[in-house]
Amino acid sequence: MKKRCLLTLMIVLLTCMAFAQVKPIVLGDRHAMLKLTQDSRYLLLPVQETEDIASIAVLDNYNNMVQRINVKLSIDRVDYYVPFEIRGTALLDIEWQGDRRQKGAVGDFVCWKDMKYSNEFDTTNREKFRPAYHHTPLYGWMNDPNGMFYKDGVWHLYFQYNPYGSQWENMTWGHSTSKDLVHWEAQPAAIEMDWLGSIFSGSCVTNGNDVVAFYTSAGHHQTQSMAVSKDGGRTFEKYSGNPILTTSDIPDFRDPKAFWNEDAKVWNLILAAGQEMRIYSSKDLKEWTYESSFGKEYGNHSGVWECPDLFPLTQTTKQPNNQTTKKWVLLCNINPGGPFGGSATQYFIGQFDGKKFTCESMPKVTKWLDYGKDHYATVSFYNAPENRRVVLAWMSNWQYANQVPTKQYRSANSIPRDLGIFQYGEETYVSVVPSKEMLAVRGQKVKKPTETCEIVVDVKNQTEIILSNTKGEEVVMRYDTTKQTFKMDRTKSGDVSFSEAFPCETKAPTYGQIKQLRIFVDRCSIEAFDADGKMAMTNLVFPSEPYNTIKVNGGKATIYQIEN
Ligand code: FRU
């Protein structure tokens, strides 16, 4: 009996601690401070996404600022919580941007009432749109994949991450690992902001036992920095000689992709600098020599050039002589300027000698890696086994990424894809197929589509595929053999109301005939591929219930459950 009383008392005490009212020191109509008085792991911060940002200076016991974070603290409603790890913090100095007077007195904001001390943070996701077999952050916002590499049987994926909200802010490198490119395990954030700036996109290379990360420090100006991991990519120590690359004349100077160039026996690095890509070389990864620039007048320039990648691909011609052709591919993500508005990945094919990339196409030729609207910031894994070139994209579009109808987290990556090259007419193109790991999660055949399935369609001439649900929501896909095009229409796919740029039809060239389509459905996304790799199309959808009916005119569908 005594024991039970004690237990109840403890539970009551713990609950009281968790909900103990937080008392701010109000200093003005947009300024308050908060002394952190309780010894728990987290202070849970309530967020209201439609509100202005509160800029929070995090101070230690000696009044030194250790961090600055931007959080949309709740004014009159709580959308969700984010965990602030206390780690010895003594004081939060909070200043709101924008005019607070409309919102009432700072002391009355609901954030104070709803802030909680806690040793736990519940990351259970109960949102219906959270994908089952695509990588997503445990909570919070994600954009570009960063620093991906493979080592000792593990695929490492870092990503642009906001740990303090589900919209873009506070750029940090989040981290997840996987043994099969499908099941991902969340890891602690790997690289956090510092006084050089927030941590924008970049890459990793392996050098002996070290993992070396290159990223953009986005402060007043964009500069490039380096960090080294001695524990296989779990934690990184920033290099004392940062920044390692700077410029005085270009505001958009970012997203370094470094790699070992086996042909030239040199380290290379490519980054986006305004409307072109700059290429550097190095012997020691620390000192970089500018070699050349590529891109002026080539391809599409209707937006900012970002997130480059540069790698060789080989094509083996069929019998009789099994000749191999090696070409270099330069990936160039661009936003806006995509074929259907907003963000997309274009690429160039040519040769690279460690110093200069020479494009083999005419300058006006533009090639897109994926013809959907939700495929951006594509980059490849460093050091993938079996000479594979595996890529992941961020499955969203800057036109509406911050508004898509999820809250606890925002954004997923595409399924992993393997790249190759193929020839059509006079031009060489990059082929895209789902990575072989996707076959391993193919489950049993099912009669109807489910919210997580792969639909394989053997197509004939004109083929129409309609996915729909009982609410009358539908996605219509059409393969036209005469025009050699594949289209996907999501104008009636479900919730399209959050952005005028969302409802649309996307259209891809198929470069000749298609025999089979592979269509991956995962709650809020549809990725369609030509099984031979000549076409890829990635689109988000937000149906109010899963599509459970399929109608195929002029073709035959086989549906597999995806087992996760
Ligand atoms: C691309 C991008 C990158 C930048 C990052 C910031 O989506 O704009 O150029 O490094 O996002 O989060």
Give a yes or no: residue 133 inside a domain.
no
Total domains in the chain come to 3
Structure-token match 């780690």, residue found: 87
Residues with active-site annotation: 144
Query: Are the C-beta atoms of residues 108 and 375 closer than 8 Å to each other?
Result: no
Q: Distance of CA 301 to CAs 275, 368, 428, Å?
A: 7, 13, 21
Contact criterion met (CB below 8 Å) for 430 and 419: yes
Residues 401 and 464 in one domain: no
Closest ligand 1 atom to 343 CA: 7
Q: Do 291 and 250 lie in a common domain?
A: yes
Smallest CA-to-CA distance from 186 within 125, 128, 227 is with: 125
Residues 356 and 261 in one domain: yes
DSSP code at position 401? T
Separation of first and last alpha carbons in the chain: 46
Pairing of strands 344-352, 367-368: antiparallel
Residue 17 is predicted with a pLDDT of: 47
Residue 190 shares a structural domain with residue 70: no
Three-state DSSP class for 459? strand
Cα of 202 vs centre of ligand 1, distance in Å, is 9
Q: Is 188 helix (H, G, I), strand (E, B) or coil?
A: strand
Atom from ligand 1 closest to the CA of residue 272: 9
Same domain, residue pair 104 and 150: no
Look at residue 294 and tell me if it is in a domain.
yes
CB-based pocket (< 6 A), ligand 1: 143-144, 160, 171, 200-201, 216, 254-255, 306-307, 377
User: What is the secondary structure of 466-525 as a DSSP string?
Assistant: EEE-TTS-EEEEEEETTTTEEEEE-TTSS--TT-TTSS-EEEEE-SS---EEEEEEESSE
The string over 430-460, giving b where at least 16 C-beta atoms fall within 10 Å of a residue's C-beta and e elsewhere, is bbbbbbebbeebeeeeeeebbbbbbbbbebe
Q: Is 516 exposed, middle or buried (0-12, 13-18, 19+ CB in 10 A)?
A: middle
- Rounded distance from Cα 144 to ligand 1 centre (Å): 7
The two tokens of residue 525 are: 């996304």
Q: Give the residue numbers spanning the domain of 419.
A: 140-434
38 lies in a domain?
Answer: yes
Residue 446 sits in the same domain as residue 430? no
Q: Both tokens of residue 467?
A: 């996915």
Q: Which of 434, 462, 494 is the last residue of a domain?
A: 434
**Paired strand residues for 318:** none
- Which atom in ligand 1 lies closest to the alpha carbon of residue 168? 12
Point out the domain boundary residue: 406, 434, 462. 434
pLDDT tens for the chain, residues 1 to 564: 455 555 555 544 444 445 557 999 999 989 999 999 998 999 999 999 999 999 999 999 999 999 999 999 999 999 999 999 999 999 999 999 876 667 788 999 999 999 999 999 999 988 999 999 999 999 999 999 999 999 999 999 999 999 999 999 999 999 999 999 999 999 999 999 999 999 999 999 999 999 999 999 999 999 999 999 999 999 999 999 999 999 998 999 999 999 999 999 999 999 999 999 999 999 999 999 999 999 999 999 999 999 999 999 998 777 678 888 899 999 999 999 999 999 999 999 999 999 999 999 999 999 999 999 999 999 999 999 999 999 999 999 999 999 999 999 999 999 999 999 999 999 999 999 999 999 999 999 999 999 999 999 999 889 999 999 999 999 999 999 999 999 999 999 999 999 999 999 999 999 999 999 999 999 999 999 999 999 999 999 999 999 999 999 999 999 999 998
Q: How far is the CA of 222 from the centre of ligand 1 (A)?
A: 11
Please choose from 159, 169, 170, 307 the residue to mutate so as to test ligand 1's pocket, defined by most ligand atoms within 8 A of CB.
Answer: 307
Tokens of 229: 């991991």
Classify the C-alpha dihedral 274-277-280-284 as positive or negative.
positive
pLDDT of residue 321: 80
User: Which atom of ligand 1 is the closest one to the Cα of 398?
Assistant: 7
Which tokens go with 498?
Answer: 């959050």
The answer to whether the beta carbons of residues 344 and 536 sit under 8 Å apart is no
Backbone φ and ψ for 103, nearest 5 degrees, come out as: -95, 0
As a residue count, the chain comes to 564
Model-wide pTM > 0.85: yes
Ligand 1: which atom is nearest the Cα of residue 394?
7
Q: Please state the separation of Cα 554 from the chain's center in Å.
A: 36
Indicate whether 130 belongs to any domain: no
CA dist 389 and 259 (Å) reads: 13
Residues 234 and 106 in one domain: no
CATH number at residue 383: 2.115.10.20
Same domain as 347, residue 202 = yes
3-class SS string, 96-154: ECCCCHHHCCHHHCHHHHHCEEECCCCCCCCCCCCCCCCCCCCCEEEEEEEEEEEECCE
In the chain, the amino acid numbered 449 is: P
Residue 488 lies in a domain: yes
At residue 125, the pLDDT reads: 81
Nearest residue to 127 via CA among 445, 504, 451, 436: 451
Give the pLDDT of residue 320: 73
The residue among 72, 88, 118 that closes a domain is 118
Q: What is the CATH number of the domain that holds 521?
A: 2.60.120.560
| CA 512 from centroid of its chain's CA atoms | 32
Pick from 138, 121, 125, 140: nearest CA to 43: 121
Of 141, 254, 331, the one to substitute when testing ligand 1's pocket (max ligand atoms within 8 A of C-beta) is 254
Instruction: Name the residue among 28, 18, 26, 50 with its Cα closest to residue 114.
Output: 18
**pLDDT score recorded for residue 104:** 81
Pocket test for ligand 1, best of 200, 216, 304, 400 (most atoms within 8 A of CB): 200
3-state percent helix, strand, coil for the chain, nearest multiple of 5: 5, 50, 45
DSSP code of residue 402: T
Q: Is residue 125 part of a domain?
A: no
Q: How far apart are CA 133 and CA 300, in angstroms?
A: 33
User: CA 474 to CA 128: how far, in whole Å?
Assistant: 18
Half-sphere exposure of residue 482: CA atoms within 13 angstroms, side-chain side: 1
Same domain, 428 and 445: no
492 CA to middle of ligand 1, Å?
30
Could you tell me the distance, in angstroms and rounded to a whole number, from the CA of residue 155 to the centre of ligand 1? 22
Alpha carbon of 339 to ligand 1 centroid (Å): 19
The dihedral built from the CA positions of residue 256, 257, 259 and 264, taken in this order, carries a sign that is negative
Write the DSSP string, 15-77: HHHHHPPP--EEEETTEEEEE--S--SEEEEEE-TTSPPEEEEEE-TTS-EEEEEEE-B-SS-
In a domain, 502, yes or no: yes
Instruction: Based on the fold, state whether residues 505 and 381 are members of the same structural domain.
Output: no
Q: What is the distance of C-alpha 231 from the center of its chain? A: 24
Are 168 and 275 found together in one domain?
Answer: yes
Q: Are residues 452 and 524 in the same domain?
A: yes
**Structure confidence at residue 98 (pLDDT):** 72
On whether residue 182 sits in a domain, the answer given is yes
Residue 99: the pLDDT is: 67
